[in-house]
Protein backbone atom coordinates (compact mmCIF):
# COMPACT_ATOMS: atom_id res chain seq x y z
CA UNK A 1 0.00 0.00 0.00
CA UNK A 2 2.83 2.43 0.83
CA UNK A 3 4.27 2.45 -2.67
CA UNK A 4 0.85 3.10 -4.19
CA UNK A 5 0.15 5.83 -1.63
CA UNK A 6 3.47 7.48 -2.42
CA UNK A 7 2.72 7.43 -6.16
CA UNK A 8 -0.78 8.81 -5.59
CA UNK A 9 0.53 11.60 -3.36
CA UNK A 10 3.21 12.50 -5.89
CA UNK A 11 0.46 12.85 -8.50
CA UNK A 12 -1.84 14.94 -6.30
CA UNK A 13 1.01 17.24 -5.29
CA UNK A 14 1.72 18.15 -8.92
CA UNK A 15 -0.85 20.97 -8.74
CA UNK A 16 -3.39 22.62 -6.44
CA UNK A 17 -6.37 21.69 -8.65
CA UNK A 18 -7.11 18.36 -10.34
CA UNK A 19 -9.47 18.96 -13.29
CA UNK A 20 -12.58 16.78 -13.04
CA UNK A 21 -13.71 16.24 -16.62
CA UNK A 22 -16.94 14.98 -18.17
CA UNK A 23 -16.10 14.30 -21.81
CA UNK A 24 -18.99 13.78 -24.23
CA UNK A 25 -16.90 13.49 -27.40
CA UNK A 26 -13.65 11.54 -27.26
CA UNK A 27 -12.28 13.65 -30.11
CA UNK A 28 -12.06 16.57 -27.69
CA UNK A 29 -10.03 14.64 -25.12
CA UNK A 30 -6.55 15.14 -26.55
CA UNK A 31 -6.72 18.89 -27.31
CA UNK A 32 -8.46 19.44 -23.95
CA UNK A 33 -5.79 17.55 -22.04
CA UNK A 34 -3.02 19.32 -23.95
CA UNK A 35 -4.56 22.67 -23.07
CA UNK A 36 -4.70 21.75 -19.38
CA UNK A 37 -1.13 20.44 -19.35
CA UNK A 38 0.06 23.61 -21.11
CA UNK A 39 -1.44 25.58 -18.24
CA UNK A 40 0.33 23.42 -15.66
CA UNK A 41 -2.43 20.96 -14.73
CA UNK A 42 -0.81 17.60 -15.54
CA UNK A 43 -2.93 15.27 -13.39
CA UNK A 44 -6.33 14.96 -15.05
CA UNK A 45 -9.38 13.03 -13.86
CA UNK A 46 -11.69 11.86 -16.64
CA UNK A 47 -14.95 10.67 -15.12
CA UNK A 48 -16.76 7.54 -16.30
CA UNK A 49 -20.03 9.43 -16.72
CA UNK A 50 -20.30 9.24 -20.50
CA UNK A 51 -19.96 6.54 -23.17
CA UNK A 52 -16.88 8.37 -24.47
CA UNK A 53 -14.97 8.26 -21.18
CA UNK A 54 -12.88 5.10 -21.63
CA UNK A 55 -11.84 6.06 -25.14
CA UNK A 56 -10.97 9.55 -23.86
CA UNK A 57 -8.76 8.03 -21.15
CA UNK A 58 -7.08 5.79 -23.73
CA UNK A 59 -6.36 8.67 -26.10
CA UNK A 60 -5.01 11.01 -23.43
CA UNK A 61 -2.83 8.27 -21.91
CA UNK A 62 -1.37 7.45 -25.32
CA UNK A 63 -1.08 10.84 -26.95
CA UNK A 64 -0.68 13.64 -24.41
CA UNK A 65 2.90 14.08 -23.26
CA UNK A 66 3.17 15.14 -19.64
CA UNK A 67 -0.37 14.16 -18.69
CA UNK A 68 -1.03 11.88 -15.72
CA UNK A 69 -4.36 10.36 -16.66
CA UNK A 70 -6.81 9.41 -13.95
CA UNK A 71 -10.27 7.86 -14.06
CA UNK A 72 -13.09 9.12 -11.85
CA UNK A 73 -16.60 8.02 -10.92
CA UNK A 74 -15.32 4.45 -10.52
CA UNK A 75 -18.18 2.57 -8.88
CA UNK A 76 -17.22 -1.12 -9.06
CA UNK A 77 -14.48 -3.59 -9.93
CA UNK A 78 -15.46 -3.71 -13.61
CA UNK A 79 -15.09 0.08 -13.87
CA UNK A 80 -11.72 -0.19 -12.14
CA UNK A 81 -10.40 -2.85 -14.50
CA UNK A 82 -11.71 -1.10 -17.62
CA UNK A 83 -10.14 2.20 -16.60
CA UNK A 84 -6.78 0.58 -15.87
CA UNK A 85 -6.90 -1.28 -19.20
CA UNK A 86 -7.56 2.06 -20.91
CA UNK A 87 -4.41 3.51 -19.36
CA UNK A 88 -5.55 5.24 -16.17
CA UNK A 89 -2.68 5.92 -13.78
CA UNK A 90 -4.86 6.65 -10.78
CA UNK A 91 -8.44 5.81 -9.85
CA UNK A 92 -10.97 8.03 -8.06
CA UNK A 93 -14.26 6.91 -6.52
CA UNK A 94 -17.08 9.02 -5.02
CA UNK A 95 -17.48 6.54 -2.16
CA UNK A 96 -16.12 3.17 -1.14
CA UNK A 97 -17.31 -0.43 -1.17
CA UNK A 98 -15.59 -3.67 -0.27
CA UNK A 99 -15.66 -4.62 -3.95
CA UNK A 100 -13.70 -1.49 -4.84
CA UNK A 101 -11.19 -2.06 -2.05
CA UNK A 102 -10.64 -5.63 -3.27
CA UNK A 103 -10.12 -4.39 -6.82
CA UNK A 104 -7.64 -1.79 -5.62
CA UNK A 105 -5.76 -4.33 -3.56
CA UNK A 106 -5.21 -6.53 -6.60
CA UNK A 107 -4.18 -3.65 -8.87
CA UNK A 108 -0.90 -1.77 -9.16
CA UNK A 109 -2.85 1.44 -9.93
CA UNK A 110 -3.61 3.48 -6.79
CA UNK A 111 -7.08 4.37 -5.58
CA UNK A 112 -8.23 7.71 -4.18
CA UNK A 113 -11.35 6.52 -2.32
CA UNK A 114 -14.22 8.80 -1.46
CA UNK A 115 -15.41 9.53 2.08
CA UNK A 116 -17.87 12.03 3.52
CA UNK A 117 -18.04 11.20 7.24
CA UNK A 118 -15.60 10.62 10.09
CA UNK A 119 -16.75 6.99 10.31
CA UNK A 120 -15.97 6.43 6.63
CA UNK A 121 -12.56 8.02 7.10
CA UNK A 122 -11.84 5.78 10.09
CA UNK A 123 -12.90 2.67 8.18
CA UNK A 124 -10.62 3.57 5.28
CA UNK A 125 -7.73 4.25 7.64
CA UNK A 126 -8.15 0.72 8.96
CA UNK A 127 -7.82 -0.48 5.37
CA UNK A 128 -4.54 1.42 5.03
CA UNK A 129 -5.78 4.53 3.26
CA UNK A 130 -4.69 7.93 4.53
CA UNK A 131 -5.15 9.92 1.30
CA UNK A 132 -8.86 10.32 0.52
CA UNK A 133 -11.32 12.19 -1.65
CA UNK A 134 -13.77 14.29 0.39
CA UNK A 135 -17.01 14.22 -1.59
CA UNK A 136 -19.35 15.99 -2.03
CA UNK A 137 -17.24 18.61 -0.29
CA UNK A 138 -19.52 21.63 -0.02
CA UNK A 139 -22.66 19.60 0.60
CA UNK A 140 -20.95 17.45 3.25
CA UNK A 141 -19.82 20.37 5.39
CA UNK A 142 -17.19 22.16 3.39
CA UNK A 143 -13.87 23.51 4.62
CA UNK A 144 -15.17 23.95 8.17
CA UNK A 145 -15.94 20.24 8.38
CA UNK A 146 -12.50 19.25 7.08
CA UNK A 147 -10.84 21.64 9.51
CA UNK A 148 -12.73 19.96 12.35
CA UNK A 149 -11.37 16.56 11.23
CA UNK A 150 -7.75 17.71 11.10
CA UNK A 151 -7.01 17.15 14.78
CA UNK A 152 -8.91 13.94 15.69
CA UNK A 153 -7.98 12.34 12.36
CA UNK A 154 -4.49 13.78 12.06
CA UNK A 155 -2.37 12.22 9.37
CA UNK A 156 -5.21 11.89 6.87
CA UNK A 157 -4.99 13.99 3.72
CA UNK A 158 -7.92 14.97 1.53
CA UNK A 159 -8.73 16.09 -2.00
CA UNK A 160 -12.08 17.89 -1.60
CA UNK A 161 -14.30 17.70 -4.69
CA UNK A 162 -17.87 18.82 -5.27
CA UNK A 163 -18.85 22.46 -5.18
CA UNK A 164 -15.22 23.61 -5.12
CA UNK A 165 -14.75 26.82 -7.11
CA UNK A 166 -12.23 29.63 -7.63
CA UNK A 167 -14.08 31.47 -4.85
CA UNK A 168 -13.60 28.84 -2.14
CA UNK A 169 -10.60 26.81 -3.35
CA UNK A 170 -8.06 28.87 -1.41
CA UNK A 171 -9.97 28.25 1.81
CA UNK A 172 -9.71 24.50 1.28
CA UNK A 173 -6.08 24.68 0.19
CA UNK A 174 -5.15 26.62 3.34
CA UNK A 175 -6.10 23.64 5.51
CA UNK A 176 -3.26 21.43 6.78
CA UNK A 177 -5.10 18.23 5.80
CA UNK A 178 -5.85 19.23 2.18
CA UNK A 179 -3.33 18.19 -0.47
CA UNK A 180 -5.26 19.54 -3.48
CA UNK A 181 -8.83 20.11 -4.65
CA UNK A 182 -10.82 18.69 -7.54
CA UNK A 183 -12.67 21.10 -9.79
CA UNK A 184 -14.56 21.23 -13.05
CA UNK A 185 -14.38 25.00 -13.55
CA UNK A 186 -11.05 24.78 -15.39
CA UNK A 187 -12.77 23.13 -18.36
CA UNK A 188 -16.26 24.65 -18.77
CA UNK A 189 -18.53 22.70 -21.10
CA UNK A 190 -19.12 25.73 -23.33
CA UNK A 191 -15.37 26.27 -23.82
CA UNK A 192 -14.82 22.58 -24.61
CA UNK A 193 -17.66 22.55 -27.15
CA UNK A 194 -16.28 25.74 -28.75
CA UNK A 195 -12.75 24.34 -28.88
CA UNK A 196 -11.46 27.31 -26.88
CA UNK A 197 -8.25 25.57 -25.89
CA UNK A 198 -6.37 28.83 -25.27
CA UNK A 199 -9.11 29.88 -22.85
CA UNK A 200 -8.82 26.57 -21.00
CA UNK A 201 -5.03 26.93 -20.81
CA UNK A 202 -5.59 30.36 -19.27
CA UNK A 203 -7.99 28.93 -16.67
CA UNK A 204 -5.48 26.18 -15.88
CA UNK A 205 -2.69 28.74 -15.41
CA UNK A 206 -4.94 30.74 -13.06
CA UNK A 207 -5.70 27.57 -11.10
CA UNK A 208 -1.97 26.92 -10.65
CA UNK A 209 -1.69 30.32 -8.93
CA UNK A 210 -3.97 29.07 -6.14
CA UNK A 211 -0.96 27.30 -4.68
CA UNK A 212 0.74 30.59 -3.94
Which residues participate in catalysis according to the annotation? 45, 133
Radius of gyration of the chain, Cα coordinates, nearest whole angstrom: 16
Total Cβ atoms within 10 A of residue 102? 12
DSSP per position, 143-185: HHHHHHHTTTTTT-EEEEBSS--TTTHHHHHTSTTB--EEEST
Total Cβ atoms within 10 A of residue 63? 12
Pick the closest to residue 25 from 53, 6, 48 (CA basis): 53
Distances, alpha carbon 92 to alpha carbons 39, 86, 111, 140, in Å:
22, 15, 6, 18
Amino acid sequence: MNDKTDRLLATLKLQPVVPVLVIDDARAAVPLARALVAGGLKAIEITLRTPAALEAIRLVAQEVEGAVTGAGTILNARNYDEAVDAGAQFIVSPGTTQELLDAARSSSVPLLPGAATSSEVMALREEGYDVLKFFPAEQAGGAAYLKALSSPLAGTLFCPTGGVSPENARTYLSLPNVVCVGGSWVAPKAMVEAGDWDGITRLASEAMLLAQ
